[in-house]
Structure 1
């Protein structure tokens, strides 16, 4: 090679080398820990490198300015415009991508019942297989902390709240009549089957601004997006017989059920404490249709109708014979349709719904007409915007028209209420360890011509990989009981202020949770009759009313669930303590209401025996005594009933007959035959003095059993034993 050519070649190499710069730096997480293997490169070029075991990188580039990009699995991408010529090494800190393990979740006051990524407590199969729950959703909720078991009344009683203070919501829509019609001194079941729902969230207080008209709690039920089985199913037991049909295509499905029930076979085997004149008889049907019109859209329709009839002679101390005839025919219709969709890559989502319900009771006490009916039409729409860094903003509105009608010994009452609400809620993540949820709800009720504004705030801080603390505060309003509004529509909303603090750790299929709370009640309705206290639970209010009532409830709950220590065994333990007093209704002084027991304990255990394909469970519950009215005691509601305890057993066996799935089940309630007493009442003195004779109110049967079975006439039907 000639020297001149070699000189030019050497000069070219030298010039090329001098035009390139070296980039160095280190990639770490927010705690300063090295991230080896991170991909570091310049946008639009092939210049880049991977970090070494210490998180350091080094590469060269001929560009002057560029955008530096860094990516690492499990972390948010990093982007920064840089000058290539700078000599200082780059220090880059990446932020973890939000997921269920590293992101805090607001939990104060709330139990998720199926979201396994967050706070799995009870799944639909849990509800079916838990002894003592009798496949009733609300009965299963009574085995969670914060609830109280009130055997002679219907409803969810949560942290010092009455049964009227808890609402049941399906797909965002309030259910006007979630329970079968109430009967004297008996607790009614919920109307809905557990397998209708994919998720159950039970809030014991401090719930979202999306919901209102509940002073104590909400039970949120979300229907399934697909059928559980395919084909025809037949179910028969000592109480009823049913046919079901499920069919699914690629983007739609339909489920239909029809049933007839008569408790005469069961009552002939299980001794009753009630004097039945017409054994409960019922029939009904339901239809569910689901359509997925697009990849992101889902339309769901659910409708049901039920009809029932019963009659009894119940103990009535106000009657000279000591008993009063009670007869009832109930008809219930409920339908709801919802449409959900999302767009812009999921950044926007819509949840809307429309529902209608009608319920009527043709009820007589002796020869007097006490019939009632209710009707509700409601609509709802919620729009959610996902923001960067996993934050979100929610806007929503709902409206309903409710009609109540009552006959009281021949006198007719009617009431109409147009109710509207708007709400906004934001969720902000201040890093991966701290989340804040702010909400505001405004409500208007036409029947009382009043508006309220209810602020809500929740926050949570992640204390470890598997643990966190949560705090919630909020104001909650509820329109007074419609029976008071028949006489006085100038009443104000009743109000409760909630303050909740909780700690929770979930690790290796074990959950520990402790929560303390304080509730302040204000503007409660008081009734002034000018007469001695009337303990009759079926009385119709007639006195002057105002909102001068108040009260409080305070206490704590403990929950422990272990699905790991003993192979195949799933058990949980709950303990709830509540201290509460109120000045409301007919109370002349502040006192603990009759539906409150200070201590409630639940011990639940279940195990699946794979060799015999059988799941067995035991449930033991203990409740301390509740107050009852003793007219011979000068201290109001100072007496207490004995402790109530119950040991129950359940078993379910899975097999196949000609490749068709068969499930056989049995349960025994109150194995020990304990003669529990729920409350006491007193007979009136016919000479005008205080009551003289006390009698006990207890369960309709002390010890009972139940057997039945189901067969799916389809080879595709299956049960996941991991759910048992």
Structure 2
């Protein structure tokens, strides 16, 4: 029996051995170089091996007929191939290098990324709150990037020859109807949103994606965070306001709630004002953010906010016999947006969808005359993306219902516009060195009863391991200012064509970027009043209008950032040049608009001192003079204001009180106390000129925040 058992065992071993099949081959890259350590295996089995120093592999399997061979290697695309088992020929496998921002070209023309999620980052979100002169305002931080113009007495982003109305703010794909606090005469208003709401910021200076429209010059894309970074209650107090917030997170959801009250009387009592305030700005508000991850890939976000503010002032008005006009303003603003994102089919399909509603009203009086206004916007958005390896195809649609109302000296104006858009866009990689993004956007406006098609094209070519060139071209349309449409709904879309060429190199924490551009404006609205030019910026258009306006903007930008040369010092320098002329609005001849400064320079320096847990920063900006209307000069808009320059300082100190995280901060604006002039205006008789300058010449600001949670942390590397 023992002999029979041994013989049977030998027969079984021989049978198993004879059923095994040997697989052998070699793994290389596209250039034929060996890839040692690659993982080679048969799908659905434990049969496999790692390649040796020559890239060769050899292993056995009991599988028969055919099987799927899979190969994986860090930094390369996964490989799979159906093979016939038992073939005596070795298997030759060539892997393709995986796409990443180091070895693959990235389209950058006309765009500045500010996101922690991408390596090719120009500014991180933390830069917005630690940059001197930005005052933790997103728009103010963008004004320190190349391509922007600093217009101190007006609100908005002024980009490459464009007015403030030509730039749009977008949150999670949804247009924000009123991204800034209500404007006041000759005072620049802050943005409504806090930087810490967002995980990333993308600032387009032109040539942007077909996904977005209704902006002749620029879009500022803000993406909200997926989860709260804090836990517990936080208290904040400064010279302007006091606030409280609560954050709580579970494994699949999080909620954040804030409330605040502000009154600028303490600040104004310490900082001399150039404005005659009759009611110091006073405001209160709250916000709620909820995030839920219902599935492994899905994410639902809801954000809602409400604010209420009041102010009163006597502003300089040369058209008034007293030289001043009283203004009273009461603003209420409500904004809510909800989005849902998901993916399926192993990430090959991506969904982005959202709904949003906003309402804003200003009860405004000039002396005793009512100039109240209100606006409401409801919108929906649906975008699908199909990934094909590194390539993608995106298509989507959006719809808006917009209602605008104005009261002007007892006359009521109202307008309703149903605006819709469809778009499709593809991104194709022709190897690792060339990328092409092509798209087209179609838009319809019910108030205009018109439709347009806007093509977009971007190219990028990698010139070296760390450098590349990019090009972008596109057509962009925008509905005219609704104040014109109250009286003339037969107007057409205004149009701008962009052409941008860009070169950049990013290496060893140093970034150099130069970009040149040309913008052609067409179909701009012109107003014919039959009267001499009226430089009053608060006037309501009363003349006949048409779309015969035109113009251009051209120039170049330079950006240099260095985080390496001097240990611990992060600095960047920007220079922008723009040459622009337009025939639009009341202009009788083509001229450089009053919001254009030909030269803008910024120097920003930041350093974190680890031993004292303090971040310090300096910002110096210079802007050349801007045109202003001088009724005594026969040449229209030929006069220029003086150069505007500003030196600002900021510091933030991190400490702990009973293990609770505390931040103290301080800033000084216009350290040199320069009496900057933004523009000049004249009395109706053209005999007296007066200067329009900042709200205060030199100012300072101090405050602090404490997080009543021992879980609060901060990454000092981001400061």
Tell me the TM-score normalised to structure 2 length.
Answer: 0.93
Q: Please give the alpha-carbon distance, in whole angstroms, between the structure 1 residues aligned to 2:443 and 2:156.
A: 24
Q: What is the CA-CA distance between 1:67 and the residue it aligns to? A: 6.7
Structure-2 change in CA distance of 1:351 and 1:71 (3 Å): closer
Residue 695 of structure 1 is matched in structure 2 by 690
Residue 126 of structure 2 aligns to a residue in which SS? helix
Q: What is the CA-CA distance between 1:393 and the residue it aligns to? A: 1.3
1:131 and 1:648 in contact (8 A); partners too: yes
Farther off after superposition, 511-520 or 170-179:
511-520
Residue 278 of structure 1 is matched in structure 2 by 279
Residue 578 of structure 1 is matched in structure 2 by 578
Residue 667 of structure 1 is matched in structure 2 by 667
Deviations 1:395-429 (CA, angstroms, capped at 9, x unpaired)? 11110110110011111100000011111111111
1:261 and 1:282 in contact (8 A); partners too: yes
Q: Is 2:317 aligned against 1:316?
A: yes
2:101 and 2:120 in contact (8 A); partners too: no
Residue 372 of structure 1 is matched in structure 2 by 373
Q: Please give the alpha-carbon distance, in whole angstroms, between the structure 1 residues aligned to 2:270 and 2:111.
A: 40
Residue 202 of structure 2 is matched in structure 1 by 201
Deviations 1:231-281 (CA, angstroms, capped at 9, x unpaired)? 111111111111111111221111111111111111111111111111111
Q: Is 2:495 aligned against 1:486?
A: no
Residue 140 of structure 1 aligns to a residue in which SS? helix
Q: What is the CA-CA distance between 1:29 and the residue it aligns to? A: 2.3
Residue 710 of structure 1 is matched in structure 2 by 705
Residue 131 of structure 1 is matched in structure 2 by 132
Q: Please give the alpha-carbon distance, in whole angstroms, between the structure 2 residues aligned to 1:114 and 1:59.
A: 45
Structure-2 change in CA distance of 1:624 and 1:371 (3 Å): same
Residue 307 of structure 2 is matched in structure 1 by 306
| Gaps in structure 2 of 5+ consecutive residues | 1-16
Q: Is 2:294 aligned against 1:293?
A: yes
Residue 138 of structure 1 aligns to a residue in which SS? helix
Q: Please give the alpha-carbon distance, in whole angstroms, between the structure 1 residues aligned to 2:516 and 2:255.
A: 44
Q: Please give the alpha-carbon distance, in whole angstroms, between the structure 2 residues aligned to 1:472 and 1:212.
A: 16
Structure-2 change in CA distance of 1:264 and 1:429 (3 Å): same
Q: What is the CA-CA distance between 1:115 and the residue it aligns to? A: 3.6
2:278 and 2:312 in contact (8 A); partners too: yes
Residue 443 of structure 1 is matched in structure 2 by 443
**What are the residue-to-residue correspondences of 1:37-76 with 2, within 5 Å?**
37-38=37-38, 53=53, 55=55, 70-76=71-77
Q: What is the CA-CA distance between 1:348 and the residue it aligns to? A: 1.4
Q: Please give the alpha-carbon distance, in whole angstroms, between the structure 2 residues aligned to 1:259 and 1:652.
A: 21
Residue 465 of structure 1 aligns to a residue in which SS? coil
Q: What is the CA-CA distance between 1:533 and the residue it aligns to? A: 0.9
Q: What is the CA-CA distance between 1:210 and the residue it aligns to? A: 0.8
Q: Please give the alpha-carbon distance, in whole angstroms, between the structure 1 residues aligned to 2:235 and 2:387.
A: 45
Q: Is 2:517 aligned against 1:517?
A: yes
**What are the residue-to-residue correspondences of 1:54-453 with 2, within 5 Å?**
55=55, 70-79=71-80, 92-387=93-388, 389-453=389-453
Q: Please give the alpha-carbon distance, in whole angstroms, between the structure 1 residues aligned to 2:712 and 2:69.
A: 54
Residue 115 of structure 2 aligns to a residue in which SS? coil
Q: Please give the alpha-carbon distance, in whole angstroms, between the structure 2 residues aligned to 1:352 and 1:46.
A: 42
Structure-2 change in CA distance of 1:88 and 1:292 (3 Å): closer
Q: What is the CA-CA distance between 1:549 and the residue it aligns to? A: 0.6
Match of 2:717 among 714, 717, 722: 722
Residue 544 of structure 2 is matched in structure 1 by 544
Residue 647 of structure 1 aligns to a residue in which SS? strand
Farther off after superposition, 98-107 or 653-662:
98-107
Residue 267 of structure 2 aligns to a residue in which SS? helix
Q: What is the CA-CA distance between 1:47 and the residue it aligns to? A: 9.3
Q: Please give the alpha-carbon distance, in whole angstroms, between the structure 2 residues aligned to 1:192 and 1:315.
A: 30
Residue 35 of structure 1 is matched in structure 2 by 35
2:668 and 2:699 in contact (8 A); partners too: yes
Q: Please give the alpha-carbon distance, in whole angstroms, between the structure 2 residues aligned to 1:368 and 1:465.
A: 64
Deviations 1:534-558 (CA, angstroms, capped at 9, x unpaired)? 1111111111111111111111111
Residue 566 of structure 2 is matched in structure 1 by 566
Q: What is the CA-CA distance between 1:651 and the residue it aligns to? A: 0.5
Deviations 1:291-331 (CA, angstroms, capped at 9, x unpaired)? 11111111111111111111111111111111111111111
Q: What is the CA-CA distance between 1:36 and the residue it aligns to? A: 3.6
Q: Is 2:644 aligned against 1:641?
A: no
Q: Is 2:617 aligned against 1:617?
A: yes
Deviations 1:17-68 (CA, angstroms, capped at 9, x unpaired)? 9x99999876432344343444567889999876554556789999998876
Deviations 1:158-186 (CA, angstroms, capped at 9, x unpaired)? 01000000000111111000000000001
Structure-2 change in CA distance of 1:71 and 1:310 (3 Å): closer
Q: What is the CA-CA distance between 1:641 and the residue it aligns to? A: 0.7
Q: What is the CA-CA distance between 1:227 and the residue it aligns to? A: 1.1
Q: Please give the alpha-carbon distance, in whole angstroms, between the structure 2 residues aligned to 1:456 and 1:345.
A: 29
Structure-2 change in CA distance of 1:24 and 1:302 (3 Å): closer
2:116 and 2:125 in contact (8 A); partners too: no
Structure-2 change in CA distance of 1:237 and 1:21 (3 Å): closer
1:105 and 1:118 in contact (8 A); partners too: no
2:290 and 2:303 in contact (8 A); partners too: yes
Q: What is the CA-CA distance between 1:73 and the residue it aligns to? A: 2.9
Q: Please give the alpha-carbon distance, in whole angstroms, between the structure 2 residues aligned to 1:188 and 1:595.
A: 16
Structure-2 change in CA distance of 1:183 and 1:375 (3 Å): same
1:350 and 1:382 in contact (8 A); partners too: yes
Q: Please give the alpha-carbon distance, in whole angstroms, between the structure 2 residues aligned to 1:71 and 1:252.
A: 34
Q: Please give the alpha-carbon distance, in whole angstroms, between the structure 1 residues aligned to 2:45 and 2:674.
A: 79
Farther off after superposition, 209-218 or 49-58:
49-58
Deviations 1:446-483 (CA, angstroms, capped at 9, x unpaired)? 00000011111112122222222111111110000000
Residue 5 of structure 1 is matched in structure 2 by none
Structure-2 change in CA distance of 1:250 and 1:58 (3 Å): closer
Cα RMSD (Å) = 2.5
Q: What is the CA-CA distance between 1:118 and the residue it aligns to? A: 3.5
Q: Please give the alpha-carbon distance, in whole angstroms, between the structure 1 residues aligned to 2:271 and 2:702.
A: 12
Residue 120 of structure 2 aligns to a residue in which SS? coil
Q: Please give the alpha-carbon distance, in whole angstroms, between the structure 2 residues aligned to 1:47 and 1:355.
A: 53
1:112 and 1:118 in contact (8 A); partners too: no
Structure-2 change in CA distance of 1:31 and 1:513 (3 Å): farther
Q: Please give the alpha-carbon distance, in whole angstroms, between the structure 2 residues aligned to 1:537 and 1:469.
A: 41
Farther off after superposition, 567-576 or 81-90:
81-90
| Gaps in structure 1 of 5+ consecutive residues | 1-16, 686-690
Deviations 1:432-451 (CA, angstroms, capped at 9, x unpaired)? 22211111111100000000
Structure-2 change in CA distance of 1:308 and 1:64 (3 Å): closer
Deviations 1:323-365 (CA, angstroms, capped at 9, x unpaired)? 1111111111111111111122111121111111110111111
Q: Please give the alpha-carbon distance, in whole angstroms, between the structure 2 residues aligned to 1:346 and 1:79.
A: 18
Residue 113 of structure 1 aligns to a residue in which SS? strand
Q: What is the CA-CA distance between 1:92 and the residue it aligns to? A: 4.5
Q: What is the CA-CA distance between 1:704 and the residue it aligns to? A: 0.3
